[in-house]
Amino acid sequence: MRADALRPAVLRIELLHVLLVVGLWVALLPMRVVEPRALVIGALFMGVNFLLLSCGIHWVLTPFAGKGRVKTGIFLLVLKMALFLGLISVLLLRVRVDPLSFALGFSSLLVAIVLDRLWAFSRIGG
């Protein structure tokens, strides 16, 4: 994927991610299967992680990027990794969250990415 096509794809994926989380919340909350706080924490965790990653990659891969932008992109990637590891440690060791609900929010981004790519590939082939 070209760097200029990255931003719309990221926005589509994030929007689909939000829709999936809201759909999970609406479908599973009445059955008391999901804990809303943990679902939202998992979804926010992955959403912010994905945005930091995509911003870092976009800035690193921008054609003819100046040295300042490449350094900024690398900084964002390192910051993303540090936040990811630090926050996951805090969530696992300090904050009590429902693991199933957190995992649903967490993995809904992965489902959104797969669905977006399947939709993109079906447009190319069709």
pLDDT the model gives residue 33: 87
Total domains in the chain come to: 1
In a domain? residue 98? yes
83-101 per-position pLDDT tens digit? 888 887 887 778 788 888 9
Residue 5: pLDDT band with limits 50, 70, 90: low
8-43 per-position pLDDT tens digit? 888 999 999 999 999 999 999 889 888 999 999 999
Joined together, the tokens standing for residue 68 give 């300042």
Between 3-12, 20-29, 58-67, the lowest mean confidence (pLDDT) is in: 58-67
In a domain? residue 125? no
CB 89 within 8 A of CB 110: no
In a domain? residue 75? yes
d(CA 104, CA 19): 13
**Which one, of 53, 48, 59, lies nearest residue 78 by Cα?**
53
In a domain? residue 39? yes
Joined together, the tokens standing for residue 12 give 């589509």
What residues make up the domain containing 25?
3-120
Torsions phi, psi of 83, nearest 5? Answer: -65, -45
pLDDT the model gives residue 64: 47
